[in-house]
Structure 1
Amino acid sequence: MLVEMLTALAAAGGTAVVQAAGTDAWAGFRQAVARWFGRGDAQRERAELERLDQTAAALETADPAQVERVRISSEAAWHARIEAALERLDEPERDQAADQLRTLLVDHVPGVAVVAGPGGVATHGNLDIRAEEGSIAAAVIQGDAHVGPHPEPARPQD
């Protein structure tokens, strides 16, 4: 699986954790995420449930002036955790885990779908692109948008 796809998927997972925290979807989503991380290990699953609960509590109790910072920090932390979990697996297991995560996100978080290929990412729903200091980021497109090569200009008829 392409690195871009795994990165986009991990980013979508990090965003989904933060967006789902405190909503009606949280209980089922947090269980599914913990099961995904645990991969059959009950102790690891419990540890992930605790981490997820800590994230939800941090978002819930954040000072209003700090909510955005906590949200961004939490998204980044979960993105990194998911990406690291995928990177630790061999290729067949990674492909399977990525498919399971994609299904988990689609099933538990309405409007989430992420696909990526060389040089691009496609998402159903919101895609938030940020740049670190000294970097450049793309803008946000809302609504119908199609990006690709420009069509060839019409040739004049003789």
Structure 2
Amino acid sequence: MLTESLLALAAAGGAAVAQAAGTEAWGTVSEGVARMFRRRSGRGGEDEVQRDLERTALVRAADDAEGSRRQAGLWQRHFTALLSDADDQVRQRTETELRRLISLVPGVVDRYQVLNIHGNTYDKSPQQYGSHNHQQIHYGSDT
């Protein structure tokens, strides 16, 4: 079972692939995606991934908003499977590569804020206070 942050990463990856098609970032993003799946050991899915990349580019070129949403969902499922099937070392490398590819597509990281949180650990239990539009979080004493 993937963590919430990995599921968000897969969703952001799907959005990034669908959004990158037809832009300057497409070459780098599509090559990076193909490379991630090519390394996937014991899988014969490289041809499928290449077909899906081509289909994503065609849908984007047709300016089909619903088709682009479906392509984003398709890539989200691909990335979820890729992250689920990997051991810890491969998963970490895949996460790093996927984050790098997502960063190449403007606006995607902004829509998936959970991508900006990385392995936080705290010595003290946090205390959260807030009302309406104001929030304060304290870790330990204020002294």
| TM-score, normalised with respect to structure 2 | 0.67
**Residue 17 of structure 1: aligned partner:** 17
Q: Cα offset for 1:113?
A: 3.9
**Residue 125 of structure 2: aligned partner:** none
**Residue 80 of structure 1: aligned partner:** 77
Query: Is the CA contact (8 Å cut-off) linking 1:31 and 1:49 kept in structure 2?
Result: no
Residues in 2 aligned to 1:54 and 1:96: alpha-carbon distance in whole angstroms? 26
For the structure 1 residues 48 and 60, does the alpha-carbon distance in structure 2 shift closer, same or farther, using more than 3 Å as the test?
same
Q: Percent identity?
A: 35
Report the residue type matching 1:86 in the other structure. Answer: L
Residues in 2 aligned to 1:60 and 1:11: alpha-carbon distance in whole angstroms? 21
For the structure 1 residues 149 and 14, does the alpha-carbon distance in structure 2 shift closer, same or farther, using more than 3 Å as the test?
farther
Uncovered stretches (5+) of structure 1, i.e. residues with no partner: 124-147, 153-158
Q: Cα offset for 1:14?
A: 0.4
CA deviations 1:42-84 (Å, max 9, x no partner) are: x75454232101111123236xxxx222121111111011011
Report the residue type matching 1:38 in the other structure. Answer: R
Q: 1:1-158 maps to which residues of 2 (within 5 A)?
A: 3-39=3-39, 44-61=45-62, 67-106=64-103, 108-113=104-109, 121=114, 149-150=129-130, 151=135
Residues in 2 aligned to 1:89 and 1:122: alpha-carbon distance in whole angstroms? 19
Q: Cα offset for 1:101?
A: 1.4
More helix by share: 2
Higher mean alpha-carbon deviation, 78-87 vs 49-58, is at: 49-58
For the structure 1 residues 22 and 44, does the alpha-carbon distance in structure 2 shift closer, same or farther, using more than 3 Å as the test?
same
**Alignment RMSD, CA only?**
2.9
Residues in 1 aligned to 2:20 and 2:69: alpha-carbon distance in whole angstroms? 14
Report the residue type matching 1:55 in the other structure. Answer: T
Q: Cα offset for 1:19?
A: 0.8
Q: Cα offset for 1:96?
A: 2.2
Uncovered stretches (5+) of structure 2, i.e. residues with no partner: 117-127, 137-143
